[in-house]
Structure 1
Amino acid sequence: MPTWRLRDFRDDDLDRAIQIWDQDRQTDDSPPVFPVSEVMAVARVGGPAVVAVVGDDLVGMAVAQAQGERAWITLVALAGNWRSRGIGSALIAELERRLRPQGIRRIGALLAPGATGTAALENSGYRARDGLVFYEKVEHLGASDAGLLAELGGRVQPVGLWAALAGMEREKETIERRIVLPLAEPALADRYGVAPPKAVILFGPPGTGKTSFARAVASRLEWPFVELFPSRLAAGSAGGLAASLRDTFHELAGLETVLLFIDEVEEIAGVRSGVAVDPGHGVTNELLKLIPGFRDHDDRLLICATNSVRSLDPAFLRPGRFDYVIPVGPPDAAAREAIWRRYLGRAADGVGLHRLVEASEMFTPADIEFAARKGAQAAFEREITDRQGTPADTEDYLAAIADTRPSLTEQALTEFREDIEHHIRM
């Protein structure tokens, strides 16, 4: 049986070390206290880091970080077929030997229950501390990123927007499977050969929730959200719309992580006329050149939304620029019921919800929100006059529905179905 030996960590060990760390993560659902990027950075700048090798193959690694008289063991990782052979204990003992000359008196480790290294620590004389609770707060933006984000008019979205999306379950499931999960679980996606998306298009009639979905994705990923408004791009730019677009993308490059959202993207990516002097020709060309550069960076996502995907330039829709072209359609009866429940809150149990669902057949989520507010306002104004304590009822909301012009039309639905047939990619 081959024997193992210990040696110092070297830069060319990095890829194999990350592979072993990934193997450990497959059996542990808890996020690591010390992310692999932080651990490897410590190892590369001289923090005590030891590897176990069999021949030229790296089979284990341990890293520590010293802080005053205390040190933390930030990583103990072992290849699956080399566990329970004493390697973990030997790695820890070697870390301790290197830490003692630095005056270290306390050595700690933070591990999930049952994680690799638990047995090795206990065999090395480490004891678990009961009665302690681990607290952590992660700031997703550094000071410089926060300043740049503010300049771009962006923000980190409130937590919980994804869970708060009511109705539209088909679209929500598709967007979660295709967009959210590969970005939220990049290591798992890579292991299965799934490339996380870099750019997607959401299309559908006005008011169906495309912007809400984009914001909810940013909230779910906890990524900064920047919305680019085509109608405002040219303001203050001496070089016109194309130059303003280029400058904005250049500024975005300063953010480590970002979800960029462009609504009504047809304004800057419409079908080109073929006439070189057409102003729209230049801005569409510029956007087509900027997208590949945006895609070159990890932890960035471009979501473009349009009411009419057929109005986009064919070159803009070509595979390689956008990973998915996803429809966000009008809500069906089940979705409308869920949306009504969301906006009515506690009042939903006191009204004929099925009547509201039937009466709002051509309504988008935005239409339902407006009608719900209008019905509640009518009941509020009546109470101001009568003081009878009567809540909003079914008739209040039906009157609000009748007084609300639906966003959907038969023509819009026909075009939407045709766009699905010709342009969907998901």
Structure 2
Amino acid sequence: MAGWHVRDFTPDDLEAVVRLDAESGTTDAPAVFGLSDVVAALHALHPCVVAVADGHLVGAAVGRVEGDRAWVLRICLHPAWRNLGMGTELLSALEHRMQGAGVRTLATVLPPDETGATALRNAGFRPREGLTYFEKAQAVTAQDVVLLASLGALVPPSGLWRRLAGMSAEKRLIERRLVLPLTHPELAAQHGVEPPQAVVLFGPPGTGKSTFAQAVAGRLGWPFMELFPSRLALEGGLAGGLSRRFGEVEQLDHVLVFIDEVEEVAGLRSEADPAFVGVVNELLKSIVRFRDRDGRLLVCATNNVAALDPAFLRHGRFDYVLPIGPPDHEARCALWSSYLARAGAEVDVAALADASDGFTPADIAQAARTVAQATFELTMDTGRRARPTTEDYLATTRRTRPTVTDEMAVEFADHTVRFGRT
């Protein structure tokens, strides 16, 4: 007689299965299917069988059905009951129940020599050679979803970075200083590089600072949460609102927090009233707490970096102070090309880039929208497909006032030298 009997899992077995899972492993390699996957399958009443000996649960096989394919999530065996045929019997019983659910293919993935590998072979499972297992961990857990909703946070699409046309110099700088260390922290640590935790983006309005922040969050797969000082001020005062919001952020394992026009809460204290001094002090304390844990990035944006309190920009609070300026000729060509492709227009891109010197990405987007709307209306009026010409775009560009004046461009260049930390 085998000394054990196999039966279906019942909810009363859950604690014993979890305990057995901790005792069962034979390798240090992490399981492909985590314990949370196992528990979720058990709660959802997916097929599972257990082996019981002398009233004690000593083995378990947990499955999950997905259409006509099913996965063996876990094979657990008490160390004293290995190599006795229990694993093979558990798999046979689990397979029988899977067949009853219409499963045609039964599969699993586990490290070599892990508990159950021998039982799988004995039960007729065959390893597939020449395959590489790929996975991508998500930074947002199921528990985070409710909290993110309450905070008004979201995870931007990963493709947002690719859709940022032009601005290649800024993209390269942000890619290398922010994205690479945060996506490869182990390799960065080997080179003595500490992943950034707080940065300032500065430059004229309309240059895409907030879009860059969202795109970085999308690249990282992290939630993006913007703090609005005007809203926080309604929550019992701005200083208190900042403290509470940063306290809530501490519940998240990963997050990119964005504060636009940060000079509203981090301006020069020497020129501020006592209440505003308290706001700046609270923000400085919040940044220190924010930096206590990895997996977070604070991005502050300002149109006027010179207006910030010197203590705010001190080393140890912000890792980088990065300039985001107006697009150069090459970037303007890329920006125009992206809009022209959508409009199906064949025009002189270089001429448009020359004519839009000093334009921000927002300015170019506005000019392109204006031409697109006029062309659309002409098509509707005439009943014939109208296509914009180079002159249409040039005429609209001449009527569009650039955001960045000559004085602003000179000031930005000066601020880049005085405050930039790249």
SS at match of 1:227: strand
| Secondary structure of the structure 1 residue equivalent to 2:298 | strand
Alpha-carbon separation, structure 2, partners of 1:383 and 1:61:
63
Q: In structure 2, how many angstroms separate the alpha carbons of the residues matched to 1:146 and 1:249?
A: 17
- Residue type matched to 2:300 in 1? C
Cα distance, 1:283 vs. partner?
0.5
> For the structure 1 residues 96 and 129, does the alpha-carbon distance in structure 2 shift closer, same or farther, using more than 3 Å as the test?
farther
Report what 1:340 is aligned to: 336
Describe the shift of the 1:103–1:335 C-alpha distance in structure 2 as closer, same or farther (beyond 3 A): same
Does residue 311 of structure 1 match 2:307? yes
Residue 48 (1) aligns with residue 24 (2): yes
Moved more, 193-202 or 382-391: 382-391
User: Could you say which residue in structure 2 is the equivalent of 1:273?
Assistant: 270
Confirm whether residue 410 of structure 1 aligns to residue 406 of structure 2.
yes
Amino acid in the other structure paired with 2:371: G
Aligned to 1:293: 289
Partner of 1:90 in structure 2? none
Task: Give the secondary structure class of the aligned counterpart of 1:372.
Answer: helix
The corresponding residue for 1:166 is 165
Indicate which of 279, 295, 310 corresponds to 1:283. 279
SS at match of 1:330: coil
- 1:349 to partner: Cα distance: 5.3
Whichever residue aligns with residue 209 of structure 2, its letter is K
Q: Residue 398 of structure 1 aligns with which residue?
A: 394
Distance 1:99 1:424, change over 3 A: farther
2:263 and 2:307 in contact (8 A); partners too: yes
Q: CA deviation at 1:102?
A: 9.9
Q: CA deviation at 1:130?
A: 7.6
1:79 paired residue number: none
Give the whole-Å Cα distance in 1 for the aligned partners of 2:288 and 2:85.
47
The Cα of 1:373 is off from its aligned counterpart by 0.3
Report the 3-state secondary structure (helix = DSSP H, G, I; strand = E; otherwise coil) of the residue aligned with 1:163: coil
Return closer, same or farther for 1:423/1:135 CA change in 2, 3 Å cut-off.
closer
Partner of 2:357: 361
Partner of 2:97: none
Q: Does 1:421 align with 2:397?
A: no
SS in 2 for 1:288: helix
Offset of 1:44 from its aligned partner? 11
Distance (Å, rounded) in 1 between the aligned partners of 2:241 and 2:365: 35
> What is the CA-CA distance between 1:145 and the residue it aligns to?
1.8
Amino acid at match of 1:283: V
With over 3 angstroms needed to count, the CA separation of the structure-2 counterparts of 1:381 and 1:94, relative to structure 1, is: farther
Give the drift of 1:49.
3.0
Deviations for 1:252-293, whole angstroms, at most 9, x for unmatched residues?
Answer: 122221110001001100111266x53221100100000011
CA contact (8 A) 2:224 2:257 kept: yes
Matched, 1:389 2:385: yes
Amino acid paired to 2:341 = G
Deviation at 1:138? 6.3
Contact kept? 1:62, 1:73, Cα under 8 Å? no
**Unpaired stretches in structure 1, ≥5 consecutive residues:** 1-41, 52-59, 75-92
What count of residue pairs does the alignment treat as equivalent?
Answer: 352
1:245 to 242, 261, 276: 242
Task: Give the TM-score normalised by the residue count of structure 2.
Answer: 0.74
Match of 1:25 in 2: none
Q: Work out the CA distance in 2 between the residues paired with 1:204 and 1:44.
A: 58
Q: Which has the larger radius of gyration?
A: 2
The structural deviation recorded for 1:70 is 3.7
Residues 139 and 253 of structure 2 are in contact (CA less than 8 Å); yes or no, is this contact kept in structure 1?
Answer: no
Which runs of structure 2 are paired with 1:21-420 in the superposition (5 Å)? 46-50=22-26, 68=49, 70=61, 97=83, 100=86, 104-105=90-91, 110=109, 127-129=126-128, 140-235=139-234, 237-238=235-236, 240-273=237-270, 277-347=273-343, 350-420=346-416
Distance 1:319 1:117 in 2: 50
Structure 2 runs not aligned, ≥5 long: 1-17, 39-47, 50-59, 63-71, 93-105
CA 1:61/1:343 → structure 2, altered by over 3 Å: closer, same or farther?
Answer: closer
Equivalent residue, structure 1, for 2:13: none
Partner SS state of residue 193, structure 1: coil
Paired-residue identity, %: 48
Relative to structure 1, is the Cα distance of residues 293 and 95 closer, same or farther in structure 2, using a 3 angstrom cutoff? farther
CA shift in 2, pair 1:102/1:314, >3 Å: farther
1:29 aligned residue: none
Task: Measure how far apart 1:384 and its partner are.
Answer: 2.5
Considering only aligned residues, what root-mean-square deviation do their CA atoms show, in Å? 3.6
Structure 1 residues 203, 43: closer, same or farther in 2, change over 3 A?
A: farther
The amino acid that maps onto 1:264 is E
The alpha carbon displacement at 1:191 in A equals 2.3
Q: Distance in 1 between matches of 2:211 and 2:167?
A: 11
Kindly indicate whether the alpha-carbon contact (under 8 Å) linking 1:43 and 1:49 is maintained by their aligned counterparts in 2. no
Q: Give, in angstroms, the shift of residue 97 of structure 1.
A: 4.0
d(CA) in 2 for partners of 1:290 and 1:365?
A: 33
Question: Residue 44 of structure 2 aligns with which residue?
Answer: none
8 Å CA contact 2:165–2:334 kept in 1: the answer is yes
How many Å separate the matches in 2 of 1:153 and 1:319?
A: 30
**In the aligned structure 2, how far is the partner of 1:98 from the partner of 1:178?**
55
CA spacing shift, 1:127–1:158, aligned 2, 3 Å: same
